[in-house]
Amino acid sequence: MIKNDPIIVANDLTIAYELHRERKKLVALQNINLEVDPGEFVVLVGPSGCGKTSFINAISGLVPKASGSVTVRGSEVTGPGPDRAMVFQDYALLPWRTVESNVRMPFEFQDLGISEAEKNKRVKECLELVDLTGFEKSFPYELSGGMKQRVGIARALITSPDILLADEPFAAIDAMTREAMQAEMERIVMETGQTCVFITHSIDEAILLGDRVIVISYRPGKIKEVVNVNFPRPRMNNSDVKTSKEYAELRDHIWNLVKDEASQTNRGE
Amino acid sequence: MAATKNKSLQQFDTDDPNRIQDIGWTFKEVWRRARGTVVVSINLITFFILWELVVIYADINPLFLPKASEMFAELWVGLTTRAPEGAVFSGSILDHFLHSFNNLMFGLALACLIGIPGGLLMGGNKYIEAILSPYVWALASLPRIALVPLFILFLGFTTKMQVTIIVISAVFPIMINSWAGVKTTEKSLLAAARVFGANRVQLYVKVVLPYTLPFIISGIQQGIGRGLIGVVIAELFGGSSGLGYLIQRSADTFNTAMTFAVLLLLIVMSLSLINFTRWLEAYVAPWRNVNHI
Ligand SMILES: Nc1ncnc2c1ncn2[C@@H]1O[C@H](COP(=O)(O)OP(=O)(O)O)[C@@H](O)[C@H]1O
Ligand SMILES: [Mg+2]
């Protein structure tokens, strides 16, 4: 495989939901064309209900497409697979399991031919990576929101997936913790070289994390504009980035794009 | 690497000796633990003393309200004696209690055996749900007492009839709760398990079942309450043993102290069983009650 072949390709992807009660079909996403390169960090922004979650779920294999195609490394997505992992907005941790057991969950469901010792080592490594060593035996309800999401991230990293999908992972986390989590996210993705598709409502988060920011329009969801972000990494603890003129311009530009769409949301339906 | 950076975000290591501090047995700590028991004991003792005094000084006919002390005496005698071998009727509370208790346990076990798998199947398969749900709702909404004459007709004044009434009383809360547990399993937990590769069976065993377990237990808790009503009703209507029968007969023979003793025993039995299931629920699903602790 040539190094720069895109890893995810969406080709005229359309997703529709059947609204049985109204005997209608709701087209959530229409004719999306997008190529994501290996190791790239792509951020999706757009008003609520524009189809961001639908798009990421089409990549994860949770939502069937209506037409077009999504391929990962050239093969059609028909369902979830070990090459893709997901971080959820509401953490989605099993409340009856300890941190350790939650992180280990993907190993239980996927037979990757790894030995027990190897699995234990991976669990330990991943908990270390998200800075949760010492909390192996805690239950999710004993943790703060930020810590819960770190468990979610560790669980997504455990099988070393090529692609990390994240649906507003820090939306429910307080602002202080969120900054620390963003920095950690950037560090982890830089360290592991993973491809990341990330949804956020925060334009700052989008610019700080993304190599590209995709702005999606409202109903039917279409790609409105693709904005390249070229700041050097790491960006999170680099105050030069946030205070630069380009940053302010990018921010304004994306803000205006999203604002247009958001006002449509308020007007319509 | 990030370890020191995040210390400010109120993290302690679990092995950090400062994280867990020994409170010790201060007076305050002892009182905090014993408070509930002490208050309840004083409350109850006062209640029974007042009862005793009211009966003595208000000159109430013991046919209507016995002295509390007489009730306890009757209870003590009734629980420490048993009917002689070969007796046709027993006056021993213990004999009747064991009869009722065994029936209740047997009936509850049967109700669980029917209700839990039934509820799980209904929650898991929309065809089974569509077929069974009208019958379940119909029977669940029918006052179960209305069925008693019918069961007496079918089965006579037998233990079988009594157990059947307990089962029919207890099975629906258990079934409906199990069903609801499956249906309300959090969608995001299911999505997560699916993303990480769970197949249908694994989704059921590793997500739906553990999620439903506390629902099942609270179904059993409601089932105990209903089952006890079933026990007493079945025995009041027909039969020659059990606490319901004893209530009936002691009232008929104007032995009011005995009637009250049996009522007290029913209260104690019901509360013990319900508290046991509460504890069990908190034990298997500590995450559900975290806000109340
Ligand atoms: N399971 C579903 N059934 C019906 N409609 C849905 C479903 N999921 C999402 N939708 C609709 O599709 C649109 C896009 O939803 P979503 O992808 O969640 O948007 P976003 O994540 O950008 O807020 C919304 O209008 C939403 O109401
Ligand atoms: Mg969404």
Q: Report whether pLDDT(B25) > 90.
A: no
Indicate whether B148 and B272 sit together in one domain: yes
Which residue in chain B is spatially nearest to A152 when comparing CA positions? B192
Q: What is the pLDDT of residue A128?
A: 86
Q: What is the pLDDT of residue B123?
A: 93
From B9, B14, B197, residue closest to A80, measured CB to CB: B197
Using a CB–CB cut-off of 8 Å, the residues of B that contact A are: 2-3, 5-6, 9-11, 13-16, 186, 188-189, 191-199, 202, 206-207, 210, 285-287, 290
In a domain, B214, yes or no: yes
Indicate yes or no: CB of B191 within 8 angstroms of CB of A134: no
Residue A54 CB less than 6 A away from ligand 1: yes
Indicate yes or no: CB of A109 within 8 angstroms of CB of B196: yes
Indicate whether B143 and B254 sit together in one domain: yes
Residues of chain A with CATH 3.40.50.300: 8-83+161-267
Contact A45, A258 (CB under 8 A): yes
Q: What is the pLDDT of residue B7?
A: 42
Indicate whether B33 and B114 sit together in one domain: no
- Between the CA of B84 and the centroid of ligand 2 the distance, in Å, is 74
Domain that holds residue B31: 24-53
> Would you state the structure tokens that stand for residue B183, as one six-digit string?
């249906």
Output the CA torsion sign for A210, A213, A219, A222.
Answer: negative
Residue A15 β-bridge partners: A29
Q: Taking residues B275-291, what's their average pLDDT? A: 80
Q: What is the pLDDT of residue A177?
A: 80
Contact A47, A258 (CB under 8 A): yes
Q: How many CB pairs under 8 A join A and B?
A: 79
Q: Taking residues B271-290, what's their average pLDDT? A: 84
Indicate yes or no: CB of B5 within 8 angstroms of CB of A180: yes
Indicate whether B141 and B219 sit together in one domain: yes
Give ∠ CA B207-B211-B213 in degrees, rounded to 5.
Answer: 125
Indicate whether B37 and B77 sit together in one domain: no
Q: What is the pLDDT of residue B12?
A: 53
- In chain A, residues with a C-beta closer than 8 Å to the C-beta of B19 are none
Indicate whether B136 and B214 sit together in one domain: yes
Q: What is the pLDDT of residue A1?
A: 46
Q: What is the ipTM of this complex?
A: 0.88
Q: What is the mean pLDDT of chain B?
A: 86
Q: Is this structure's pTM higher than 0.95?
A: no
Residue A49 CB less than 6 A away from ligand 1: yes
- In chain A, residues with a C-beta closer than 8 Å to the C-beta of B6 are 131, 180
At B290, the pLDDT band (50, 70, 90 cuts) reads low
Q: What is the pLDDT of residue A156?
A: 92
In a domain, B197, yes or no: yes
In a 13 Å sphere around the CA of B272, the CA atoms on its Cβ side amount to 7
Indicate whether B36 and B76 sit together in one domain: no
Overall domain count for chain B: 2
Q: What is the pLDDT of residue B195?
A: 94
**DSSP character string of A238-259:** -HHHHHSHHHHHHHHHHHHHHH
**CATH 3.40.50.300 matches A8-83+161-267:** yes
- Between the CA of A131 and the centroid of ligand 2 the distance, in Å, is 27
Least Cα distance to B119 among B184, B62, B57 occurs for B184
Which residue in chain A is spatially nearest to B287 when comparing CA positions? A141
Helix (H) or strand (E) holding A226: strand A223-228
Output phi, psi for A216, to 5 deg.
-110, 140
Residue A140 CB less than 6 A away from ligand 1: no
Q: What is the pLDDT of residue B209?
A: 93
CA distances in angstroms from B213 to B129, B189, B208, B218, B283, listed in the order given: 19, 15, 9, 9, 11
**DSSP character string of B146-206:** GGHHHHHHHH-SSHHHHHHHHHHHHHHHHHHHHHHHHHTS-HHHHHHHHHTT--HHHHIII
Q: What is the pLDDT of residue A238?
A: 78
Q: What is the pLDDT of residue B293?
A: 40
pLDDT tens by residue, chain A, 269 residues: 445 788 998 888 888 888 878 778 888 888 889 999 998 999 999 888 888 999 999 999 998 887 888 999 888 888 898 899 999 989 999 999 999 999 999 999 988 888 889 889 999 988 988 888 888 888 998 888 888 999 999 999 998 899 999 999 988 888 888 888 888 888 888 888 899 999 999 998 999 899 999 999 887 788 888 888 888 888 887 788 888 888 888 888 888 888 877 776 665 44
Q: Any idea what DSSP says for residue A139? A: -
Indicate yes or no: CB of A94 within 8 angstroms of CB of B2: no
In a domain, B16, yes or no: no
Q: What is the pLDDT of residue A86?
A: 95
Q: Report whether pLDDT(B16) > 70.
A: no
In a domain, B40, yes or no: yes
Q: What is the pLDDT of residue A266?
A: 61
Residue A52 CB less than 6 A away from ligand 1: yes
Residue A82 CB less than 6 A away from ligand 1: no
In a domain, B266, yes or no: yes
Comparison of pLDDT for B25 and B101, the residue scoring more = B101
Comparison of pLDDT for A173 and B178, the residue scoring more = B178
Q: What is the pLDDT of residue B218?
A: 92
Rounded to the nearest angstrom, the minimum Cα separation between B121 and chain A is 22
CATH number at residue B165: 1.10.3720.10
- In chain A, residues with a C-beta closer than 8 Å to the C-beta of B4 are none
Q: What is the pLDDT of residue A234?
A: 83
Q: Any idea what DSSP says for residue A231? A: P
Indicate yes or no: CB of B188 within 8 angstroms of CB of A88: yes
Q: Report whether pLDDT(B292) > 60.
A: no
Suggest the residue from A59, A91, A105, A126 to mutate for an interface test with chain B (most B CBs closer than 10 A).
Answer: A105
Q: What is the pLDDT of residue B5?
A: 41
- Between the CA of A26 and the centroid of ligand 1 the distance, in Å, is 9
Output the CA torsion sign for B175, B179, B185, B190.
Answer: positive
Q: What is the pLDDT of residue A243?
A: 83
How far, in whole angstroms, is CA B188 from its chain's centroid? 32
SS (H, E, C) A83-110: CEEEECCCCCCCCCCCHHHHHHHHHHHC
From B11, B189, B199, residue closest to A92, measured CB to CB: B189
Residue A17 CB less than 6 A away from ligand 1: yes
At B106, the pLDDT band (50, 70, 90 cuts) reads very high
Comparison of pLDDT for B125 and B238, the residue scoring more = B125
Q: What is the pLDDT of residue B3?
A: 42
From B14, B186, B196, residue closest to A105, measured CB to CB: B196
